[in-house]
Structure 1
């Protein structure tokens, strides 16, 4: 499985990498702009991500904008909804508006910080990812 982790907080980024690297190859970015660029590069070389974990609050381009950009790019490339990259939004914010907006923009799941490892793995299973 190919995984992209977009997280500006070093400790959170390392934690997610430690958990998720057991299940696949992880690439790390520190903002939404880098996440969208990594998504495009992976797509262009024919090795798209299976899972993207996006922090909502990041510099330059936040996770919500990155989510929207990735979904827009998938539509432009003719990716069927069932074949889209699975995206889990991760945040320390406990605002239901962010949760609702995330799902409206096309994420499959939402995880609150601190991330519960067992719940994250269970969500990945529910999304049909090989874990």
Structure 2
């Protein structure tokens, strides 16, 4: 599984990368612009990301902007429903408005920081992401 972790905090990126290492190869982006570029490059190479973690509050473009870009680009590229990337929003914000906006924009799941292994396992399971056999 190809994974993209878009998170502006270096330590949080490294921790999340370790937490999902059992799922596959992960790339990292430090801001929203890097994330959008990584997504474009992956699609153009025919190796799209299957799982994307987006921090809601990032410089250049926030996680919600990247999510809108991702879903619009998937549609433009003819990626069929069910074949889209699973997107987990990560944030320190735990308010109903942020959560509902994320799901309305096409997020698959939502996890509040600090991320625990148990919390991550739960949201991944709810999103249908399972470790390789």
TM > 0.5: yes
Give the corresponding residue for 2:21. 21
TM-score of the two chains, using structure 1 as the length reference: 0.95
Cα shift at 1:69: 0.4
Alpha-carbon separation, structure 2, partners of 1:42 and 1:24: 15
Give, in angstroms, the shift of residue 122 of structure 1.
Answer: 3.0
Task: Let me know the Cα RMSD of the aligned residues.
Answer: 1.0
Task: State yes or no: 1:65 paired with 2:71.
Answer: no
What is the aligned partner in structure 2 of residue 36 from structure 1?
36
Shift of 1:123: 2.4
Report deviation, 1:129.
Answer: 2.3
Moved over 6 A (4+): none
The answer (yes or no) to whether the contact 2:32–2:66 under 8 Å persists in 1 is: yes
Partners of 2:60 and 2:123 in 1: CA distance:
28
- Deviation sequence 1:20-75 (CA, Å, 0-9, x none): 12221000001111111111111111111110000000001000000000000001
Matched, 1:52 2:47: no
- When the two structures are aligned, how many residues end up with a matched partner? 131
With structure 2 as the length reference, what TM-score do the two structures score?
0.94
Any idea what SS the aligned residue of 2:4 has?
A: strand
Partner of 1:108: 108
SS at match of 1:125: helix
Partner residue in 1 for 2:10: 10
How far apart in 1 are the matches of 2:111 and 2:73? 24
Mapped to 2, the partners of 1:47 and 1:128 lie a distance apart of: 20
**Residues 67-86 of structure 1: matches in 2 within 5 Å?**
67-86=67-86
Aligned to 1:96: 96
